[in-house]
Chains A and B, each alone.
Chain A
Amino acid sequence: MDESLEDELKRANQERQDIVKKYVLGRKQLDKLEGNNINKWEDPDFGLYYKIDRYGFIHTEALSREFDENEKKEKEVEIQRAQKWLKMHKSFEKFRNYNREKLQRRIFKGIPDKLRGAIWLKLLQVEKQMKDNPGVYNKMLNLAYNHSTDIRQIDNDINRCFRDHEYFRERYSTKQQQLFNVLSAYSMYNMEVGYCQGMSSIVGVLLFYLNEEEAFWALHALMIEKKFAMHGLYIVGFPKLMRLLTHHDKILMKFLPKLKKHFDKQNLDAVLYSLKWFFVIFVERIPFSLCLRVWDVYLLEGERAVTAMAFTILKLHATKLLKLKDMDAITDYLQYKLNKNFGYSDNYVIKSLETSIIELRGKRMDLPPPANDVEFPKCEMGQFIEPTIEKKLGLRAECFTDSERNVTEFVIHRNEENGIDGDEDEDHEDDAISNYNNTVENSMLIRRFKSMNSLNTTTSIATSINSIPSEFNQNDLDDDDFVIVETTRL
Chain B
Amino acid sequence: MSEDFDLLFKVVLIGDCAVGKSCIVTRFKTGNVFTERHTNTIGVDFSMKTITIDNKRIKLQIWDTAGHERFRSITSSYYRSAHGVIIVYDITKRNTFLSLQKWINEVRNYTANSVVCALVGNKCDLVDEREVSAEEAQEVCDLIPEILFQIETSAKENTNIENAFAKIAEELMNRQTIIGDDSNNGIKLGQSKSIREGNCNC
Query: Which residues in window 43-63 of B have CB below 8 A to A?
Result: 43-48, 61
Q: Does A174 contact B (CB under 8 A)?
A: no
Q: Does A437 contact B (CB under 8 A)?
A: yes
A379 to B112, CA, bound (A): 39
The main secondary structure of chain A at its interface with chain B is helix
Contact, CB under 8 Å: A432 / B108: no
A320 to B65, CA, bound (A): 27
Q: Does A253 contact B (CB under 8 A)?
A: no
Q: A161-B39, A440-B176, A467-B112 are in contact. Are A408 and B47 (CB under 8 A)?
A: no
Quick one: which of B17, B39, B145 contacts A453, CB cutoff 8 A?
Answer: B145
Using C-beta atoms within 8 Å of the partner chain, give the interface range for chain B. 35 or more
Binds B, one of A128-136, A270-278, A367-375: A270-278
Using C-beta atoms within 8 Å of the partner chain, give the interface range for chain A. 35 or more
Q: Does A355 contact B (CB under 8 A)?
A: no
**1/0 per residue A427-446: CB within 8 Å of B?**
11100111111011101110
Q: A271-B43, A429-B201 are in contact. Are A411 and B77 (CB under 8 A)?
A: yes
Quick one: which of B126, B143, B194, B196 contacts A439, CB cutoff 8 A?
Answer: B194
A417 to B102, CA, bound (A): 30
Interchain nearest-CB distance for A84 vs B (Å): 36
Query: Which residues in window 346-388 of A have CB below 8 A to B?
Result: none
Which residues on the B side are within 8 Å of A166 (C-beta)? none
Interchain nearest-CB distance for B196 vs A (Å): 4
Quick one: which of B46, B78, B129, B196 contacts A429, CB cutoff 8 A?
Answer: B196
Query: Which residues in window 26-81 of A have CB below 8 A to B?
Result: 39, 41, 44-45
Q: Does A237 contact B (CB under 8 A)?
A: yes
Contact, CB under 8 Å: A451 / B145: yes
Contact, CB under 8 Å: A197 / B37: no
Contact, CB under 8 Å: A327 / B73: no
Contact, CB under 8 Å: A441 / B112: yes
Contact, CB under 8 Å: A463 / B45: no
Q: Does A236 contact B (CB under 8 A)?
A: yes
Contact, CB under 8 Å: B37 / A415: no
Contact, CB under 8 Å: A433 / B8: yes
Interchain nearest-CB distance for B79 vs A (Å): 10
Query: Which residues in window 72-130 of B have CB below 8 A to A?
Result: 72-74, 76-78, 80-81, 83, 95, 99, 102, 105, 108-109, 112-114, 126, 129
Contact, CB under 8 Å: B42 / A237: no
Contact, CB under 8 Å: B42 / A464: no
Q: Does B167 contact A (CB under 8 A)?
A: no
A153 to B74, CA, bound (A): 18
Q: Does B184 contact A (CB under 8 A)?
A: no
Q: Does A264 contact B (CB under 8 A)?
A: no
- Chain B residue with minimal CB distance to A468? B113
- Chain A residue with minimal CB distance to B146? A460
Contact, CB under 8 Å: B176 / A436: yes
Interchain nearest-CB distance for A273 vs B (Å): 9
A469 to B194, CA, bound (A): 17
Contact, CB under 8 Å: A284 / B73: no
**1/0 per residue A396-429: CB within 8 Å of B?**
1110100111111101100100001100000111
Contact, CB under 8 Å: A420 / B42: no
Contact, CB under 8 Å: A464 / B113: yes
Contact, CB under 8 Å: B81 / A436: no
**1/0 per residue B153-196: CB within 8 Å of A?**
00000000000000000000001100100110001000001111
- Chain A residue with minimal CB distance to B183? A443
Interface residues of B (CB under 8 A from A): 1-2, 8, 17-18, 36-40, 42-48, 61, 66, 68-74, 76-78, 80-81, 83, 95, 99, 102, 105, 108-109, 112-114, 126, 129, 143-145, 175-176, 179, 182-183, 187, 193-197, 201-202
30 inter-chain pairs at a CB distance below 8 angstroms, sorted by A residue, are A153-B68, A160-B38, A196-B70, A197-B40, A237-B73, A271-B43, A272-B44, A275-B43, A328-B48, A396-B69, A396-B72, A398-B105, A400-B76, A403-B73, A406-B73, A412-B77, A421-B81, A429-B201, A432-B194, A436-B187, A436-B194, A436-B196, A439-B187, A440-B83, A440-B114, A443-B182, A445-B114, A448-B113, A464-B108, A469-B112
